[in-house]
Chain A
Amino acid sequence: MKKIFYSLFACLFLFIAGCDKIEEDNYLIYSGSSVQWYNGSGVADKSQRTLLEKYTGVRCVNCPTADVAISAAQQAYNGQLIAVAIHDSSLAFCRPIGNSPDLRTEDGNTWSVFFGISSEGTYPMALVGRNSVASSWDIFTPTSNIESHTDAALAQNPSIALAVNAAIQGDTAIMIDVDIEYLTSRTDSLTLTLFIMEDGIVATQRQPDGTDDENYIHNHVLRDVITDPWGIYINDGRSDSDISANNPVAAGTKRLGKCLYTAVHHDWILSNCHIVAFVSEKSSKRILNVAECEIE
């Protein structure tokens, strides 16, 4: 009987030591990764840039052709065209080949569904500046005609200037500063979206001849949208709904947003990563300006 007692005592000890109880009120801890807003000092570079979102997949045979065309366009526009490669998490085109790295993101799926890319059924597709034509998103196949879409997006007079800086904090966090300057008065609500993308990822890519290139280098791959996928309100001290024609955000308003991003994944090589910030109209989703930086 003594043997049984000792055995049960040992079991009881493990039982007590074996489980942490977290009450519902304590599920979440403030991480400081939301954007905090301060008065800014303005932006020196007031040039207009735009964002090309390339919806791509490792099983898409035409995507390598689009990569070449986009790369050439980026060189031609000399920094005014920023590109991001988005691998939708729900499409067969994007499923990894063999044991190759998985480049898909849920945020990519959110955008893909909203802009009608996933329902289009053909790949690759692209959208520049989130422009629309005749009430439809101006999506196109980016193996050609990139210039006409880019020219249309860059033709607008800059109404927003912005700059972004990012620095590693500790081992796993990134401090991001975004300077925004209103160049014209705005009567509508604007949002800031931040995301991280990575260059130089080696992952198998299906080629136009149907073969698989195991050493294909994927650049500007979307890794994570740091803010909400649809951005966060650029707070100037008033609530979102208070901005109107009678109560606009004045030209010359300067804001500084600070964000500590803590969800860096251990697979990412931060020296190959870039932070991209863009400001868009909340209602139309049209991108007003975009900026990109390396992580220092």
Chain B
Amino acid sequence: MKKHLFPFAILLAFPFVSNGQGILGGNVTGNFQIDGQTSKLDTVIGSRNLPEQMHLNARGDILYTNGNFSAGIRYEAYLNPLEGFRAEYAGQGIANYFVSYKTQDFAVTAGHFYEQFGNGLTLRSYEDRYLGIDNAIRGFNVLYRPYKGITLKGLIGQQRYFWESRGLVRGVDGEITINETFTALQEAKTRLTLGASFVSKYENGDGVNINSYVDGFKLNLPNNVASYALRMDLSHGGFNLSGEYARKGADPNDLNGYIYHKGEALWLNASYSQKGFSANLQAKRVDNMGFRSVRTDKYKETLYINYIPSITKQHTYAFLSMYPYQTQTSGEMGLQGDIIYNIKKGTLLGGKYGTDLHLNASAITALDRQGIYLPLVDSTMLDAPGSDGYTSKFFGTGDLYYADLSLEVAKKLSTKVKLTATYGYVIFNPVTEGHEGDLHHNHVAIADLTWKINRKNVLRFETEWMGSDSKYDANIDDKRCGDWIMGLVEYNFASAWFISLSDQYAYHDGIGNYYNISVGYTKNATRLQLGYGKQREGIICIGGVCRQVPACNGFSFSLTTSF
């Protein structure tokens, strides 16, 4: 896979013009990104000396379009992978290539592609370079619109696994926008879209030996496992109601401990918005809905066919995002509420420029799971491999996994100064990251002040505090524990440069002092950033999908450009 010459040959077959324009009348666009880091031993934060002195991830995407035709390749290099990325990425080569033909009613893609059915409960093929996740499908993807308002999709292929393709995934999806299909409803204020999807994977289970809960018996594994989902989206004026319900057949795999329990997921979203106000309420219930194309894969983030949407807020401030919530595909229930309100200017609370309020709260719990009686061993067992694993009541809840509440108040103090103050409260259960321990209760307070000195110079100050009941314990080695304080100063000048200084310090019951300095320069579509400092060991999550980030102590640089 690392040395695919065929895609190169496709592109080299065209007379290439290096200024980025005009191959046989078409267009060439692309982007490059190079990220590197060094690290040295620091026994306090747990960083290590890199044997190669420097690690580097780099990629370049080239896209050629000409009328209805397009083709692209991506070259990736991991020399060697940045800390936290899987060692299997080491190497370089063509990681992604495709050719595509698209008209108004028809599209076909051969090669690598990304696709999503509905909210992703049955299928979501996507890439996140910061998480090191890429489950692109290599195969064929077809889209067809047989009638106005009706879209059908079909695909077949294998999923990317580092430099290989594994598994076999097939899927179809259909969606009808009622107001487009039926002419009489085209102008109706109420809009309705319905959709359904069906996805199945094939993996030969014959001769695979997975031990069961009974000595001397192995599992009878299904070769084909399917999931399906129904979804709807209904809106009327500022109101919107959408939801999706999915089921999955028996799918014993490493993720669920090889049980036959059928999967189920329900996701609901209700929202209302008008000028100056919006409210959103989300709910979900997930029961054994991890769906991967290879049942025995040892990693937790690879070869996922589906995606469970996250319903916790994606916090951006350092201490509020220190304990991100990792979606538990094995089972969870959750609720999230979100309100944004603008207090009008000229009022008592709005002042001269108005005030923005943003209130968010969420809570996620485990399912209430009960073991099942197994006659072969005459006992009741929970999660016994080779059994249905457990039963759970639909509305039953188990232990709290995560809860947070945050209130953000943003106010312009003058034409040049804006202050954002945030209070947050987070309850975190370490079991969601695979280790035991007490719940962590964290209070977070943040002040963020931006001073726009003039058109070309902006100064930003940020200070954060986190008080936690957690204490650093060397046996558990969670370096996020304890009470923290942080300061940050960032100066953007000449519309092109920025310099940033920050320090996070565990002043009580914690460990570590993480200082960072970074300098960046942006010109047109090119950005260069250099940094030096310490990175805390932890977890980063995007949309509920997470990866472990090891400690790092050294220089980092990043170069991105597009054309």
Task: Report A's interface with B, CB cutoff 8 A.
Answer: 3-4, 7, 10-11, 14-15, 17-22, 24, 26-34, 59, 90-93, 95, 97-99, 102, 121, 172-173, 210-212, 214, 227-228, 232, 262-264
Residue from the list A18, A95, A99, A263 in contact with B87, Cβ < 8 A: A99
Residue from the list A3, A20, A24 in contact with B225, Cβ < 8 A: A20
Contact A210 B222 (CB under 8 A): no
By secondary structure, the B interface counts as loop
Q: Does B219 contact A (CB under 8 A)?
A: yes
Q: What is the bound-complex CA distance between A28 and B259, given in angstroms?
A: 11
Q: What is the bound-complex CA distance between A264 and B260, given in angstroms?
A: 22
Chain B stretch 207-227: residues in CB contact (< 8 A) with chain A = 207, 209-212, 214-220, 222-226
Residues on B with beta carbons closer than 8 Å to the beta carbon of A19: 200, 222, 224-226, 249
- Which of B65-73, B142-150, B231-239, B401-409 lies at the binding interface? B142-150
Minimal Cβ-Cβ distance residue in B for A33: B216
- Nearest 7 CB-CB pairings of A with B: A34-B216, A18-B200, A19-B226, A99-B87, A31-B218, A20-B222, A262-B209
Residues on A with beta carbons closer than 8 Å to the beta carbon of B199: 18
Q: What is the bound-complex CA distance between A216 and B259, given in angstroms?
A: 36
Contact A27 B260 (CB under 8 A): yes
Residue from the list B48, B174, B209, B219 in contact with A212, Cβ < 8 A: B48
Q: Does B250 contact A (CB under 8 A)?
A: yes
Q: Does B469 contact A (CB under 8 A)?
A: no
Show 15 A/B contacts (Cβ-Cβ < 8 Å), sorted by A.
A3-B146, A3-B147, A18-B199, A19-B222, A21-B250, A28-B217, A28-B220, A28-B386, A31-B211, A31-B216, A31-B217, A31-B218, A33-B215, A172-B209, A263-B218
Q: What is the bound-complex CA distance between A130 and B216, given in angstroms?
A: 27
Residues on B with beta carbons closer than 8 Å to the beta carbon of A34: 215-216
Q: Does B475 contact A (CB under 8 A)?
A: yes
Residues on B with beta carbons closer than 8 Å to the beta carbon of A26: 220
Residues on B with beta carbons closer than 8 Å to the beta carbon of A93: 475
Most chain B Cβ neighbours within 10 Å, of A4, A14, A32: A14
Q: Does B550 contact A (CB under 8 A)?
A: yes
| B280 → A minimal CB distance (Å) | 33
Given contacts A92-B435, A92-B477, A262-B209, contact A22 B215 (CB under 8 A): no
How many residues of B are in contact with the other chain, CB < 8 A?
Answer: 52
* Additional A-B contacts beyond A7-B152, A18-B198, A28-B214 (6; CB < 8 A): A18-B199, A24-B260, A27-B212, A31-B211, A98-B48, A173-B209
Contact B41 A211 (CB under 8 A): yes
Residue from the list A14, A31, A227 in contact with B200, Cβ < 8 A: A14
Residue from the list A17, A27, A228 in contact with B220, Cβ < 8 A: A27
Q: What is the bound-complex CA distance between A188 and B386, given in angstroms?
A: 33
Q: Does B3 contact A (CB under 8 A)?
A: no
Residue from the list A21, A33, A95 in contact with B211, Cβ < 8 A: A33
Chain B stretch 381-396: residues in CB contact (< 8 A) with chain A = 386-388
| A27 → B minimal CB distance (Å) | 5
Chain B stretch 173-227: residues in CB contact (< 8 A) with chain A = 174, 198-200, 207, 209-212, 214-220, 222-226
